[in-house]
Amino acid sequence: MNKLKSLLLLAALMPAMLFAQGWKSKTLIKMGDKTITAQEFMDVYEKNNVKSDVIDKKDVDEYLDMFVNFKLKVTEAEALKMDTLPKFVKEFEGYRKQLAKPYLSNDEETENLVEEAYDRMHWDINASHILVRCDINAVPADTLKAYKKALALRERVLKGEDFGDLAYDKSEDPSAHDTVVNGRFYKGNRGNLGYFTVFDMVYPFETGAYNTPIGELSMPVRSDFGYHIIKVNSKTTACGMVTAAHIFLVVDDKDPLKTDSVVREKAFNIYNEIAKDGKNWDAIARRYSEDKGTATNGGVLTPFKVSQIVPEFIDVVKQLNPGEFSEPVKTSYGYHIIKLVNTKGIRSFDDEKENIKKRVEKDMRAKASDEIVMKRIMKENKFKEYVKVKDEFIATVDSSLNQGQYVMAEGVKTNKVLFKFNKQKYTVGDFAAFLKTKTNSQPFMSPAAYAYKLYDEYLKTETFAYEDAHLEEKYPEFKMLVTEYHDGILLFDLMDKEVWKKAEKDTLGLQNYYEEHMNEYMWGERIKTIFVVVPTPDKVKLVESLLKNDLSIDSIRSIIKQADLRGVSAKSQYFQHGDNVDIDEIEWIPGKIYTIPSTVDKMTRIVKILEIRQPEPKSFREAKGLVTSAYQTKLEEDWVESLKEKYNPQIDAKILEKVKSCY
């Protein structure tokens, strides 16, 4: 029974509670046909006062006056349609685009990708693959066919077939097979891609390799090239950048003096000679190495990454310490005796972070980040796609699309819905209109493949456009920020027109204002001086003697120039109290000369007081900056009064009292 009473009481109180909060959505300010709610005002007030660390916080009444004046100017700007001018539209759209960026991107995912890349930098992978080619723009049926083919090849390896043999026979990567180029035989790699690390391969392949345990096979991995079955041969600590030297001997079976057996024997003879005394490496490299580009430099190669050298070479490098050299090793080029000079390891995360981030943003990883954002937008906005409608429409697309002159087939029902966000629908007709904007020819793709590619582009474009169009209603803080920029740009342009430039151009009004307010721009008591700066002590006495004579500033400058007193500068200068600490400390007596040395810049100031000037108005030229500022203030005040008469701003006193009660 008590619980029932409580529920009844709560039900009775609910309307009052809702009303108590509902006042914030009511109109606080009305000017012309524009209304501003209490909530709008409070949001701005709190941002600029209560929730910020400003030095001079304004009370509600004071801030309300400022806010009303600000909104009057914005209202006038909008009435003048300044927000429709091309200059304003371009500037505002640029600002809004920058403000929207964080809402249309995934900073958290970017950070995750940066950290993932840094972790992978610490490892070198050696992997093999079997490739089943599949065009990135293949239609779904062809994509499925390629996937099944890759899956079947994987099963054959799992059942015991040799990976290298199968890669040699079935991989559609040409490097897996033996080839002859310009009469020279090149042995295929049987699927072995050698060593690589982060950013060396396309991102999907890289991920497949790093996520596959050593000695095991991946599931088919999709890249722009097709489907890959990846076998990881090894995963070792990263070398980073390697500097190595080699003594190289060419193998050429067509030359009896360069057959494999002959060159191998020669290579081991050279190795034995080096082994006697490692100090003779450079001399032996110059004498025997057939890599003429490096022989004269002790065989030192340009620093390289593991992906830039054949795997047999890297296998040896990974076993050496700096300064050590290897026995001869055979590669597809010949025999190498390898000496490790040094390796440049991976720097700290803080040192590498910015560089990695730039690469991530340019890499396919950026696409992965976009896809995450798209999925989030779709989920939040009840995205629904009608795949059957899409497939039926794309089946009607002909070669006119590939020719860049798309013509829709007859009988297509353009009002069918392809997909929708909430209640907003995107029809076949909308997509067809998008296809008509694609005027570049694509002769190497089928019409269907090109249409599917453009559909993905259209879907991505509209997904982000939908989110962008609803940012203001989804994120109040974004709406407030955009409004601030909108009003701020308008205000600047209108103030420039009505106040700042107006004051500059109205020279007569400026002069009249000065004459009416001349006594507001006064000099205090001043002294007129000859002020000389002397750079070195040896010239002080000479300058002092000059100042003792009754010479004009021009005469003094002329003598300084004739005497070639370099670094000495002299000028006629006025000082009033507060202008200069040294001047404030001396006694102001006409004719008196003061020598003021400085321990800071080692220069000496010599001052001769010529006369004392009593307080007097500044000339128009002297006061122009201050006069212009004051005149602008007057123009603004008069203008605001006229805007008040025009738009008659009215404040709801009851709502204002509720606002005040919150602070």
**What's the pLDDT tens digit per position in 214-237?**
999 999 999 989 999 999 999 999
- Whole-angstrom distance, CA of residue 617 vs CA of residue 620: 9
Q: Is residue 350 part of a domain?
A: no
Sign of CA dihedral 58, 658, 491, 503: negative
Same domain for 230 and 273?
no
CATH number at residue 578: 3.10.50
- Whole-angstrom distance, CA of residue 131 vs CA of residue 59: 71
Answer whether 0.85 is exceeded by the pTM: no
Instruction: Give the end of a domain, one of 190, 210, 237.
Output: 237
Q: Is residue 70 part of a domain?
A: no
Same domain for 139 and 197?
yes
pLDDT at residue 278, as a whole number: 66
% helix, strand, coil for the chain, step of 5:
55, 20, 30
| Residue 221 belongs to domain spanning | 123-237
Q: Is residue 439 part of a domain?
A: yes
Question: How many domains are there within the chain?
Answer: 4
Same domain for 216 and 141?
yes
Q: Is residue 533 part of a domain?
A: yes
Please provide the DSSP assignment of 421-435 as one string. Answer: ETTEEEEHHHHHHHH
pLDDT at residue 161, as a whole number: 95
SS3 201: coil
Please provide the DSSP assignment of 383-417 as one string. Answer: -EE-HHHHHHHHTT--TTTTTT---PPTT--TTSE
CA distances from 398 to 324, 412, 435 (A): 65, 13, 12
DSSP 49: I
Instruction: Give the end of a domain, one of 221, 237, 253.
Output: 237
- Whole-angstrom distance, CA of residue 398 vs CA of residue 403: 10
Q: Is residue 297 part of a domain?
A: yes
- Whole-angstrom distance, CA of residue 62 vs CA of residue 73: 17
SS3 635: helix
Tokens 């067809």 correspond to 432
Same domain for 218 and 254?
no
Stated as kind and residue range, the H or E segment containing 533 is strand 526-534
Same domain for 231 and 127?
yes
Please provide the DSSP assignment of 369-390 as one string. Answer: HHHHHHHHHHHHTT-EE-HHHH
Tokens 């941002």 correspond to 47
Q: Is residue 56 part of a domain?
A: no
pLDDT at residue 16, as a whole number: 39
pLDDT at residue 47, as a whole number: 82
Q: Are 627 and 522 in contact (CB under 8 A)?
A: no
Q: Are 594 and 606 in contact (CB under 8 A)?
A: yes
SS3 224: coil
- Whole-angstrom distance, CA of residue 311 vs CA of residue 462: 46
CATH number at residue 205: 3.10.50.40
- Whole-angstrom distance, CA of residue 89 vs CA of residue 98: 14
Of the candidates 383, 578, 571, which has an alpha carbon nearest to the alpha carbon of residue 463? 383
Same domain for 401 and 458?
yes
pLDDT at residue 6, as a whole number: 43
* Diameter of the chain measured on Cα atoms: 112
Same domain for 217 and 290?
no
Burial 75-107 (b: 16+ CB within 10 A, else e): bbbbeeebbeeeebeeebeebbeeebeeebbbe
Same domain for 204 and 266?
no
Lateral strand order in the sheet of 241-250: 241-250, 334-344, 329-330
Same domain for 537 and 464?
no
Instruction: Give the end of a domain, one of 421, 440, 469.
Output: 469
Helices marked H in 395-539 — which ranges? 428-436, 447-469, 471-474, 476-495, 501-505, 507-516
Q: Is residue 514 part of a domain?
A: no
Same domain for 324 and 228?
no
Q: Is residue 113 part of a domain?
A: no
Of the candidates 196, 205, 197, 200, which has an alpha carbon nearest to the alpha carbon of residue 226? 205
pLDDT at residue 56, as a whole number: 52
- Whole-angstrom distance, CA of residue 199 vs CA of residue 121: 9
pLDDT at residue 20, as a whole number: 45
Residues of the chain with pLDDT under 70: 1-21, 50-58, 278
Same domain for 202 and 247?
no
Same domain for 198 and 154?
yes
